[in-house]
Amino acid sequence: MKQAFSYILLLFFISGFSQDITHTISLEEYLGYVKKYHPIVKQTHLITSEGEAKLLKSRGAFDPKIAVDYNRKKFDDSKYYNKLNTVFKIPTWYGVELKATYENNDGKYLNPELNTPDDGLYSAGVSVSLAKGLFMNERMATLKQAKLFTQQAQAEQQLVVNDIIYNALSSYFNWLKNYQSLKTYEAFTENAETRLEIVKKSYFAGDKPAIDTLEAGINLKNRLVDLEKAKIGYIKSKLALSNYLWIENNIPLELEDAVVPDLNTIYVVDQVLNSSILNEEAIDITNHPKIRALQVKRDILTIDKKLKTNNLLPTIDLQYNFLTTDFDPLSSLNTANYKSGLQVNFPLFLRKERGDLKLAKIKLQDVTLDLVATEVSLKNKIQSNIQEITSYTNQHTILLDLVEDSKKLVQGEDRKFDIGEGSLFLVNYREVKLIESQLKRIDAEYQLLNSKTRLLRTLSSLY
């Protein structure tokens, strides 16, 4: 694969490359470039990285914390006070916080309640939320949601990459379609030029009337106009394809005329895209990234609803700390020496809390309905794509036979004209019908390729 890539790059950049030699870039090689080097495909990895960064940030709410508070006041050679207060806190999953402190205060004008022994005062205790915040609080909700956001980011990343690859494939198929159309018009323009020369020679030899030279000339001009249109379409499709071709260091590539699409793409597309998944019986949307993203969103909103429900409870915070002048040994902790506190807070009407809960329920109901609608929409879209594939497969098969039959008619009419039994008008008419059949066959092939990738896009299975 690497050797093939290097060879293509060589074709891209060597100036003066012979236009008589062409190199085919296959669908598999093309997809290799898109998946490895396309900037937006690489950019999607940042979505997951951002989710992981948010998860790390939310975990910081449970990090142990050390705080030191030191204050000193001295005025007119009088020491008013020295206050040292150090705290070590360990937040836990539920509404419980472990805390250890050390205080050492002294001074002439120190508040008496802040007095401590000469060696300071140690304390170890716990702070507990008995109602609001016990089983669900902001820190707990944020961490749970951050874990879910990471899963949501992964699903969204797959959807973005899936769309990029689908658009890249559509550009390749459009390039292939326009290349085939161009080659068709080139071949029939060459036929028209050859026929005009033959008719002219026959006219000068007295075998054909002058009106045949006029008709052959008109036919050639029509072919030349169609050829110019085909050239414009091919150039535009080639430039559109170049939008998806990059190499390392975000360097864009531009296709040279010597590089052409693989004309056998229709026969290898199933293998390249792993289209065995197109088996209707094997299709399962339960793990579809769009479904997963909505399910994760529902779980996030469920956590938010639980938090808002918990906020209806009163705030009852209890603190209890053992006090000692010696932190070692632990036996020095005495239940007779303690500091405790109780804080109770309860809004009378709870209008803010009830309003938040109602909004949370509405959002949860909205995403639940969205999930149901998305499942139905995906199933219907999958069925539609499968029907498209069946129809375009049948059309392509029929048109292959139609092209062969039209070729035989043109060849037969051409032989009759050469021996003087036919007319140039019928030759041109048969040829026009052959061109139409050929273009219909090319378009049916293009639609068949696109319908397969549309189904894979709907299933989000392109990456």
Taking only the tens place, the pLDDT of each residue in 243-275 is: 888 887 778 888 888 889 999 999 998 888 876
**pLDDT of the residue at 8:** 45
Query: Do 18 and 106 sit in the same domain of this protein?
Result: no
The closest of 202, 177, 245, 258 to 438, measured between CA atoms, is: 177
Instruction: Report if residue 306 sits inside a domain.
Output: no
d(CA 320, CA 339): 6
Q: Which helix (H) or strand (E) holds 192?
A: helix 138-204
Q: Are residues 197 and 221 in the same domain?
A: yes
Report, as an integer, the average pLDDT of 289-306: 90
Q: Looking at the structure, do residues 326 and 439 belong to the same domain, yes or no?
A: no
CB 365 within 8 A of CB 400: no
pLDDT for the residue numbered 263? 93
Predicted local confidence at residue 444, as pLDDT: 95
- 309 occurs within a structural domain: no
Q: What is the percentage of the chain residues whose pLDDT exceeds 70?
A: 90
Q: Are residues 391 and 244 in the same domain?
A: yes
Determine, yes or no, domain membership for 60.
Answer: no
Is the residue at 58 inside a domain?
A: no
Residues 178 and 228 in one domain: yes
Question: In this structure, is residue 57 part of a structural domain?
Answer: no
Residue 74: strand pairing partners: 79
Q: Do residue 383 and residue 342 come from a single domain?
A: no
The residue with greater pLDDT, 338 or 128, is 128
Which residue in 73, 146, 137 sits closest to 110, CA to CA?
A: 73
Report the phi/psi class of residue 458: left, alpha or beta, with left for phi > 0 and alpha for psi in -120 to 50: alpha
Mean pLDDT of 17-35: 77
- The residue segments making up the domain with residue 103 are 65-91+96-132+316-348
| Phi, psi (deg, nearest 5) at residue 96 | -125, 135
Cα–Cα nearest to 450, from 242, 273, 259, 243? 273
Query: For the whole model, what pTM was predicted?
Result: 0.78
Q: How far apart (Å, rounded) are the C-alpha atoms in residues 219 and 428?
A: 7
Cis, bond preceding 261 (omega within 30 deg of 0): no
| Count of structural domains within the chain | 2
Whether residue 440 is predicted with pLDDT greater than 90 in this model: the reply is yes
- 371 or 150, which is more confident? 371
> How do residues 418-434 score in pLDDT, each as one tens digit?
777 778 888 888 889 99
The residue type of 59 is: R
| Residue 22 in this model has a pLDDT that exceeds 80 | no
Percentage helix, strand, coil for the chain under 3-state DSSP, each rounded to 5: 65, 15, 20
